[in-house]
Amino acid sequence: MALRIDEPASLKALNSFGVAARAARLITLDDPADLDAALALIARAPRALVLGGGSNLLLAADFEGTVLRIALRGRRIVFDEGHAAIVEAAAGENWHDFVCWSLDQGLSGLENLSLIPGTVGASPIQNIGAYGVEMRERFDSLEAVDRRSGERRRLLAGDCRFGYRDSIFKHPEGAHWIVLSVRFRLSRRFEPRLDYGELRAELAGARDAGAVAAAVIAIRRRKLPDPVVLGNAGSFFRNPVVDAAQADALARRHPDMPRYPADDDRSPGVKLSAGWLIDRCGWKGFREGDAGVHDRHALVLVNHGAATGAQLLALAERIRDSVRERFGVELEPEPTIVR
């Protein structure tokens, strides 16, 4: 099949904020045989952006370059050791469909990560996590291609340098990799991860991976806005990690402030709740034009319809400024900001 190329192209339906940005050129890669041709095109482009499901992106402006949308499909069991198996999915597979497929194979491990929007290929980029589990805990390896040289490599966890909502792919030294497929090590022995009280309550005693997935789905549907109905990119800021002295000083002034051990080699310290900090600055439910903050979730910026990426970014900056002024804490955006 030939590469699909649209020039120019609207990205409105390809980003979960529903921002009406355009790209000078959009290439859709759905056949691995077209990879070299796609790489040759993006090598000649003034700028290039790799796109999965567009659910962790803010398109702050039109993109005067080439967008390469990874739509490669396919999933399989690579090795089956009986009690455990290595499974693989192509980068363009929908993440939630892949989680459901793995559960249908009798394999557990990904159930806490049900219903996270986006593709399998993007899951290592920010080491997706939810309800006490991070992708890296189930990760085996991935295949990536160097967009500059066309070299293909299998990368192991150590190569990917996973951290809290972080990996090498988010940094200049890893930004040249395009993920083609990801492998996970999953288990036939269900080991529940029910650290979240809300998840335990929702389960009401049921104890299998399918029940955990159903409980996670129910909670997420209740709490998070559906991007099809209300444009958003999930949590807009990462939970900030501060040193113990700053956390203690803040806790003395705000005794009800939530705090958790950062539990991360790459960022030791104390993790604070970005949602709590933003809420305390009075942003929950704020709306200016069509850019706003969700009325039940201070961490979720929303597009009520016709907000531009620039308006959403300006709102994010105001939120950051107010948290910095009130608490002296710096918030970092979680989505990729495309300017």
Ligand X SMILES: Cc1cc2nc3c(=O)[nH]c(=O)nc-3n(C[C@H](O)[C@H](O)[C@H](O)COP(=O)(O)OP(=O)(O)OC[C@H]3O[C@@H](n4cnc5c(N)ncnc54)[C@H](O)[C@@H]3O)c2cc1C
- How many angstroms separate the CA atoms of 330 and 339, rounded? 21
Q: Please say which residue, 21 or 250, places its beta carbon nearer to ligand X.
A: 21
Q: Of 87 and 92, which has the nearer Cβ to ligand X?
A: 92
Q: At what angle do helices 209-223 and 95-104 cross, to 10 degrees?
A: 160
- Kindly write out the interface string for residues 57-86 of this chain, putting x where it contacts ligand X by CB under 6 A and - elsewhere: x------------x----------------
Among positions 217-246, residues that touch ligand X (CB under 6 A) are: 224, 227, 232-234
Stretch that binds ligand X, among 49-57, 197-205, 251-259, 268-276 (CB under 6 A): 49-57
Cα of 80 vs its chain's centroid, Å: 28
Residue from the set 28, 56, 102, 108 that interacts with ligand X by CB under 6 A: 56
Q: Pick from 50, 168, 272, 293: which binds ligand X (CB under 6 A)?
A: 50
CB of 65 to ligand X, least distance (A): 12
Alpha-carbon gap, residue 201 to 217, rounded angstroms: 14
Helices (H) and strands (E) in the chain, counts: 8, 21
Closest approach, Cβ 179 to ligand X, in A, equals 4
- Select from 53, 109, 240, 275 the one that contacts ligand X (CB under 6 A): 53
In the bound complex, which residue of the shown chain has the CB atom lying closest to ligand X? 118
Alpha carbon distance 63, 337 (integer Å): 11
DSSP calls for 60-77: -S-EEEEEEEE----EEE
Closest approach of ligand X to the CB of residue 228, in Å: 10
Which residues, other chains included, contact 330 with Cβ-Cβ below 8 Å and sequence gap of 6+? 240, 320, 324
Q: What pairs with residue 129 in β-bridges?
A: 134
Interface residues for ligand X in 105-164 (CB under 6 A)? Answer: 116-119, 121-123, 125-126, 128-130
Active site residues: 165, 235, 334
Q: Using the minimum distance from each CB to ligand X, give the nearer residue, 63 or 327.
A: 63
Smallest distance from the beta carbon of 326 to ligand X, in angstroms? 26
Q: Cβ of residue 122: shortest distance to ligand X, in angstroms?
A: 3
Pairs from 307-310 (Cβ < 8 Å, separation ≥ 24): 307/17, 307/19, 307/231, 308/19, 308/20, 309/17, 309/19, 309/21, 309/58, 309/59, 309/60, 309/61, 309/338, 310/60, 310/61
Residue 63 CB, nearest approach to ligand X (Å): 11
Shorter beta-carbon distance to ligand X: residue 143 or 250: 143
Exactly one of 54, 240, 292, 333 binds ligand X (CB under 6 A); that residue is: 54
R_g of the chain, CA atoms, integer Å: 20
Q: Is 313 in the site for ligand X (CB under 6 A)?
A: no
Contact 68, 48 (CB under 8 A): yes
d(CA 122, CA 119) in angstroms, rounded, equals 6
Residues forming contacts to ligand X in the complex (CB under 6 A) are: 16, 49-57, 70, 91, 116-119, 121-123, 125-126, 128-130, 169, 178-179, 224, 227, 232-234, 336
